[in-house]
Copies of this chain bind each other. A is one copy, B any other.
């Protein structure tokens, strides 16, 4: 089978030579797909044996033969059968024959199954395993890295930015805590969606017609088959499982990717030389230009954003694949074969985000410097609020004009306010704490540090529980 080894760079998809997560291949490669389809056939054989419809020996023979089947031989056989599942069934039979196994086993392979009993069930199982074994742990690693930064920078003053303009102060840890919270929610969303992936064993049009030839309670039998793979049946199926659980899973992936892309954009911008609040070491994620050797290009962050732009539109395909004519048409088949590519790219980006997060440097000096650019003006907000509460009408407008003057004179707005006689009767009512905030904008961070604690503690515990749950599931 010489030809089944291909030169890695004769390939066309970057998922296969540039952005490949090797650890996912046991679940997402074509070989893995064949393996999981064999697992379903094996599960089916066991279920028949439990019912006494075939012997335990026959079931065990089918399992042994199924384990030998390779994608290469299935593809070879498919050139004759023009059908991938018939090809795989033939290969299982061929291994039975070559091992001199019983006719009973050979006749029992794939019994009462339609192709998509195998395909949809295998896909749900391998996606679930990819998430449990690789992707969810990777998500947890990123969340953990972010919790660490949020805590470390809990009190690191940073100017908040809205509309790209300086707004009120935050702390960098507070900004990170926002991503911790959003991403934490997404991890739970992914977990929930993955746990809803379903299998089926209901035959060609979902009525259990074929199964009914052999047993009286095929709906119960379906559960027994799927139990072998730790899956639940779809409530009612056509030839295929209901499409929505897979759509929901991909939605949870893409929205998680969106949170990471938002984070990447922010860090990318904070590394602009004029801002320079964040740094990264040269290496995989920061590379020099090919012609400008002085440059430090944040290519890792750019790569994450670019892969988001690549993956996100695939949701359109997924929404279209909800529509399948009558008891199913096959126009969702080729398109769904690209789902593993999306999962692989997503996980690649997650891993890269974790690597970047682990080596970030925070430039507190520049954060302070940028904050000070505006520290005299951002107190316009508390000033107008307080003066208004002490009876000044039109405070928003007056303080707005005062801020304009402050900015053109380069003086703090509170200084100008103090020079303004019309305001003195209101200023007099300020408490010492209020005066302190107006004199020193760094005091105006509200509950930022408290929120960091609340959010990081919550999510630390929540992902520990999740981790434990995943571990338990994997080791049972």
Tell me if A170 is interfacial: C-beta within 8 Å of chain B.
yes
**Which of B72, B160, B259, B284 has a CB less than 8 Å from the CB of A326?**
B160
A262 in complex: contacting residue of B202, B262, B322, CB < 8 Å: B322
- Complex interface bits, A76-111 against B, C-beta within 8 A gives 1, otherwise 0: 000001110110010000000000000100111011
- Shortest C-beta distance, A335 to chain B (Å), equals 4
Docked CA distance A255–B320 (Å): 10
Q: Considering residues A107, A237, A386, A454, which has the most beta carbons from chain B within 10 angstroms of its beta carbon?
A: A107
A236 contacts across to B, CB distance below 8 A: 174, 177-178, 181, 451, 454-455
Contacting residues, chain B, for A248 (C-beta < 8 A): 189, 251, 255
CB-CB under 8 A from A323, the residues of chain B are 258, 261-262, 265
Contact of A384 among B83, B273, B293 (CB under 8 A): B293
The count of residues in chain A whose C-beta lies closer than 8 Å to any C-beta of chain B is 195
Q: Which residues of chain B are near A314, meaning CB under 8 Å?
A: 313
Taken together as a complex, chains A and B put the C-alpha atoms of A320 and B259 apart, in Å, by 10
The docked-state distance in angstroms from the alpha carbon of A292 to that of B160 is 12
Residues in B whose Cβ lies below 8 Å from that of A31 = 7, 9-10
Nearest neighbor of A108 in chain B, beta-carbon distance: B389
Give this chain's copy count.
4
**Nearest CB in chain B to that of A115: its residue:** B290
A207 touches B170 (CB 8 A): yes
On whether the beta carbons of A330 and B160 are closer than 8 Å, the reply is: no
B338–A164 touching, CB < 8 Å: no
Could you tell me if B212 and A446 are in contact, using CB atoms closer than 8 angstroms? yes
Determine whether the beta carbon of B306 is less than 8 Å from that of A332: yes
Q: Does A70 contact B (CB under 8 A)?
A: yes
In the complex where A213-B386, A218-B446, A296-B165 touch, is A291 in contact with B12 (Cβ < 8 A)?
Answer: no
A9-B166 contact given A178-B236, A389-B214, A434-B213, CB 8 Å threshold: no
Q: Is A362 an interface residue (CB 8 A)?
A: no
With an 8 A cutoff between CB atoms, is A382 at the interface? yes
CB distance from A363 to the nearest CB of B (A): 13
Q: Is the CB of A446 within 8 A of B381?
A: no
Q: Which residue of B lies closest to A179 (CB)?
A: B236
Which of B19, B81, B299, B381 is within 8 Å of A291, CB to CB?
B381
Tell me if B326 and A269 are in contact (CB < 8 A).
Answer: yes
A138 CB within 8 Å of chain B: no
| Contact mask for chain A residues 46-63; partner B; CB cutoff 8 A; 1 contact, 0 none | 000000000000000000
Residues from chain B with a CB closer than 8 A to the CB of A212 are 446-447
CB <8 Å contact, B393 and A103: yes
- In the assembled complex, the Cα of A406 lies from the Cα of B293 at a distance in Å of 12
Contact between B164 and A299 (Cβ–Cβ < 8 Å)? no
Taking the nearest CB of chain B, how far is it from the CB of A235, in angstroms? 5
Q: Do the beta carbons of B287 and A82 come within 8 Å of each other?
A: yes
Q: Are B306 and A312 in contact (CB under 8 A)?
A: no
Residue from B70, B185, B330 within 8 A of A244 (CB atoms)? B185
Measured between alpha carbons, how far is A307 from B302 in the docked complex, in Å?
24
Tell me whether A410 is interfacial, beta carbon within 8 Å.
no
**Stretch from A22-30, A224-232, A353-361, A463-471 at the B interface:** A22-30
**How long is the Cα–Cα vector from A284 to B312 in the complex, in angstroms?**
33
Complex A-B, nearest 3 residue pairs according to Cβ-Cβ distance, in ascending order? A13-B13, A293-B400, A294-B403
Beyond contacts A169-B205, A235-B458, A244-B255: 4 other A-B pairs, Cβ-Cβ < 8 A, are A14-B341, A165-B273, A208-B447, A309-B317
**A-B residue pairs in contact (CB < 8 Å), sample of 7:** A10-B29, A112-B291, A163-B295, A204-B292, A207-B447, A209-B444, A306-B331
